[in-house]
Amino acid sequence: MFWLEASVQWLHILFAIFWFGSTLFTDFVLMPAVMGMSPTGQRELGQRIGPITARLEPRAAVATIVLGALRGTVFGPVQSLSALVGTAYGLTWLVSLLLAVGLFAFGEWVLTPAVARIPRTATPEEQAGLIGQVRRFTLVQLAAFLLILVAMVAMHYEG
């Protein structure tokens, strides 16, 4: 059972690094580079990386969430409703889970559709406006990740 628990923990961390790392890369490397490109270059880059991101990032997110749920329940202290709502660990774990699910939903229903609209914009001005909106969305995503990270650290001390 130890190896299964350890595998769940490490895979949870690995997929979370990919998911969170994608946002960090987007916010601090990709978006500044894209903002300095021509509208044609922006469109071409978006058409190349958009489908890859849309395929990989949601999978990493789902894996992170499912493995985190297993880590807290099957392999963790959240074994009952009273452990969930009656302990600091349980409440922090629940907040983290809800933030992660909300973050996934935000990515799927808000961010990804906005990115998909970029190649279909009619003018460079519309494209620039939509890229600016995507940039703001990724910053919201980053803030949510930071809240989850704070909760993960807090759980370490609560459990």
> For every one of its 159 residues, what pLDDT tens digit does the chain have, with 9 covering 90 and above?
789 999 999 999 999 999 999 999 998 999 899 889 998 898 888 889 888 998 999 999 999 999 999 999 999 999 999 999 999 999 999 999 999 999 999 999 999 999 888 888 889 899 889 999 999 999 999 999 999 999 999 988 876
Residue 1: its pLDDT value, please?
76
96 C-beta neighbours (distance < 10 Å), count: 21
82: burial class by Cβ within 10 Å (0-12, 13-18, 19+)? exposed
Q: Using alpha carbons, list the distances in angstroms from residue 71 to 24, 55, 79, 135.
A: 24, 25, 11, 32
3-state secondary structure the chain: CHHHHHHHHHHHHHHHHHHHHHHHHHHHHHHHHHHCCCHHHHHHHHHHHHHHHHHHHHHHHHHHHHHHHHHHCCCCCCCCHHHHHCCHHHHHHHHHHHHHHHHHHHHHHHHHHHHHHHHHCCCHHHHHHHHHHHHHHHHHHHHHHHHHHHHHHHHHHHC
Backbone angles phi, psi at 122, to 5 degrees: -85, -35
* pLDDT at residue 159 in the model: 60
Q: What is the pLDDT of residues 88-125, one digit of tens each?
A: 999 999 999 999 999 999 999 999 999 888 888 889 89
